[in-house]
Amino acid sequence: MKLKKRAVASVALPAVIMLFLGIGFRGDDDIYQKIGRNMDLFGQVYKEIALNYVDDIDADKFMEAGIEGMLGTLDPYTTFIDEDSRDQIDLITTGKYGGIGVTVGVRDSQFVITEIMNGYEAQKRGLRIGDVIVSIDDKDLNNEKIDRMRGLVRGPVGSSVKLTVQRDGETLDFMLTRQEIILKNVSYYGYLEPKDRGIAYIRLDRFTTISESEVENAIKTLKSEGDLKALVLDLRDNGGGLLDAAIGILNKIVPKNSLLVITKGKRADSEKKYFSDENPMIGPEVPVAVLINERTASASEIVAGAVQDLDRGIIVGTKSFGKGLVQQIRDLDKKAQLKITGSRYFTPSGRWIQEKNYFKENKYGVFIEKDKYSQSDFRTLGGRTVKALGGITPDVEISVQAESDIHSALMSKDMFFKFASNYISLNPGSGPVAPDDRLFEDFKAFIAQNGFSYDSRIEKKLNELKELATSRNYGNDFENSLRKIETQVETGEAEELNSAKEEILLSIFNEINKLQENEAEQIQATFPYDKQLQRALEVLGNTPEYNGILGK
């Protein structure tokens, strides 16, 4: 990263900065008088409750609740960070944390290990995918939230943690030593088949301090291994990270001296413009497609927004998340920090892409200027119209099937993993599977044999209506009508499984491959069935269409 005096800030979570005094606000005297008066009032309320309330109060938790209450009147990203949450800062800014090398998810209301990372403690000690975590350091996990549970697994490097798991009806204890876990930012790169097309693919999962170097190394390797004629940059499910990382990566693909992003804070002199200051590794003659979806956020949107506004490439997928705010971390004391929204960012055309309107949704009225950022359409460098607010709208919109109720139910009951485990035990060494009709029929037979039951939303509402009708004595005619509807609902539910076939097959496919393939092989296996990727490849391979989308 060669930008001179580049601000160390993040769109998701930034590096720590110093809190300088003497910031100039409009009406300084008035605001400081209000701060002083309100601090006195807050202190008096806190002291009275802590000392005189009828029941004993945990003074620390009471203060934290007060802080959370105040911050809850602001945007969703301004939060209080206590000592137990600091590992999240390290994870998102550096991609490192102290842990044992597992990914945990909620399956059938239980905490289940869904991934084991190669080379780390969990793998070495014999933990397996599918193990159900029942306690951590003998602490029962009933009623724990997933974020809290993950915090119990993580901790200082070198410290010990005891996991008690259930596996095949047996309870097992594991004593593990936490290691420094280093997450890759680029989870995959390579040429897509057929390789003679020269279309390279890079999947970037997060923006940390080493993201730029990983992308740079990927591009260097790709150029050394073949003739790089086009690039797909996959930012789907990338929730963002450091602003500097986004700027550094844009430097690799956009022309030198291009405006990349603008940040603006409260003060009139706070505006900063970030420009590319390098000759790109991939020149403008190489077409680019950026893949985004509804979980593409923050720094990812800065990259996608710049590529779109500069007409450097096409954006393919579904509309992004819409986070147009920049946070900074300020130390409060040795144990606590404040993640505070200090500025907004704007794409090169001047768009603010914030989706959640926290100005108008706020019921406490703490914001003075509610209509400060009413925006209209903007223009790209080449004159195309692009929209403000609500995330980045793709140039080529390819929707994917939304998660159905029955898919959610199958996932929550852990049926995909159970079927995958059973399938592999019956077909050892079978290698990658094809998501075809035979696999789907096998799955339907499996869930029937294992007693899978599912109440759709309409069935739940129907049950509520039946209870209400009984309590109100609506009579036999009404009950008979409900029975007819119930029969129709049961018929419809039987068809739901078939209607969600494509979505269900892909989950089965991914779960089977996860159990027998490495990460790169798992990603590669999805390419033929990835509609958004395949559409991007079509456009990249059709120069007139690509140029037409960009208005050339």
Q: Provide the annotated active-site residues.
A: 298, 309, 323
Phi, psi of 394 (to 5 degrees): -65, 150
**What is the residue whose two structure tokens read 């047996």?**
170
What whole-number distance in Å separates Cα of residue 277 and Cα of residue 258?
8
126-149 CB burial, b ≥16 within 10 A, e <16? ebbbbbbbbbbeeeebeebeeeeb
Between CA 268 and CA 351 the distance in angstroms is 18
User: Which tokens belong to 9?
Assistant: 């800030």
Q: How far is CA 501 from the centre of its chain?
A: 25
Half-sphere exposure of 526 (CA within 13 A, CB side): 21
Q: How far apart are CA 202 and CA 211, in angstroms?
A: 12
Cα 140 to Cα 166: distance, rounded to the nearest angstrom? 13
**Which residues lie closer than 8 Å to 128 by C-beta, 6 or more apart?**
113, 116, 167
Buried b (16+ CB within 10 A) or exposed e, 51-79: eeeeeeeeeeeeeeeeeeeebeebbebbb
Beta bridge partners of 116: 102
Say how far apart CA 498 and CA 505 lie, in whole Å: 10
**Tokens at residue 477, please?**
């005619």
Task: Tell me the backbone φ, ψ of residue 382, rounded to 5 degrees.
Answer: -90, 5
What's the per-residue H, E or C state across 445-471?
HHHHHCCCCCCCHHHHHHHHHHHHHHH
Query: Rounded to an integer, what distance in angstroms lies between the CA atom of residue 314 and that of residue 344?
Result: 24
Residues facing 284 on adjacent strands: none
Distance from C-alpha of 182 to C-alpha of 382, rounded to nearest angstrom: 41
Distance CA 221, CA 223 (A): 5
